[in-house]
Structure 1
Amino acid sequence: MGAIERSGFRFEPEFSVINQDGAIHVYHNGNFVEEILFEFSGSFPEHDQIEALVDEYCHKNQID
C-alpha cells in the first residue's frame, strides 16, 4: 500500500498483521506532523479504510 499525497501532505500507511493495527504517518513538506492510529481485521487493512482515514484527517484539518 503506497503513500497518498494531498496539498503538500504525504500520508504513509504501515501496519502489523499480527497485532491487527496500523498507523498512517503524516508529513507536510517532508516534515513529520503526526501519526494516525487505526485497527483492522483480516490479512491487511482495506484501501477504502485508509482513504477514509485520510479524508477524515483532511476534512478535520481543512486540507484540500
Structure 2
Amino acid sequence: MRRPSLSEHLKVLRDAGLVVEQPVGRQRLYSLRPEPLREVADWLGPYERFWRARLADLRDVLDRLPDE
C-alpha cells in the first residue's frame, strides 16, 4: 500500500475514534482503541444470536429433506 493511501485510511480510523496517534520524533505510532468495536459487538449480539438460531433451524430442515 502506498503511503498516501495508508495515511487516508489511518485518518478515517482516527476520526472514527478507532485508533490513537502518538508522535514519536518524526514518526507517528498508531494504537487500536477496541472499546468502540466492543460497543458495536454488544449492540449486534442479539441480532447475531437470532440469525444463528434461524440458520441452525434451516440447516435442520434441509438435513431432513430426502437426498436427490
Same fold (TM over 0.5): no
Bigger fraction of residues in helix:
2
- Structure of greater relative contact order (alpha carbons < 8 Å, 6+ residues apart): 1
Q: When the two structures are superposed, what TM-score results if normalisation uses the length of structure 2?
A: 0.29
Bigger fraction of residues in strand:
1
Q: When the two structures are superposed, what TM-score results if normalisation uses the length of structure 1?
A: 0.30
